[in-house]
């Protein structure tokens, strides 16, 4: 890989998009948190596919070293989306 993709780089790239979403996707006067905007962004990116959204959250937890929380989330994902799909 030629260029490292750092957290700083990602924040700088997403910052303008997050600001655009804050200004255009919420009612006037409401100030959503960045986490709330990212939730909306992820939901729309995955076209409201609950499994993809949940799996993405799990990958984010794993990347942030919240391994136990990710394991617990994976159990819920399996229960909600994957039970009986064999």
What end-to-end distance do the CA atoms of the chain give, in Å? 38
Nearest CA-CA partner of 61 in 46, 77, 47: 77
Q: What is the pLDDT along the chain (86 residues), one digit of tens a residue?
A: 577 899 999 999 999 999 999 999 999 999 999 999 999 999 999 999 999 999 999 999 999 999 999 999 999 999 999 876 65
The model carries a pTM of: 0.85
């Amino acid at each position: 890989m030629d260029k490292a993709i750092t957290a700083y780089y990602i924040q700088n790239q997403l910052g303008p998009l997050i600001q655009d979403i804050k200004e255009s996707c919420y009612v006037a006067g409401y100030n959503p948190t960045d986490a709330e905007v990212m939730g909306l962004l992820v939901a729309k990116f995955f076209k409201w596919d609950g499994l993809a959204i949940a799996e993405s959250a799990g990958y984010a937890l794993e990347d942030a070293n919240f391994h136990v929380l990710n394991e617990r989330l994976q159990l819920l994902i399996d229960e909600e989306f994957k039970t009986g799909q064999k």
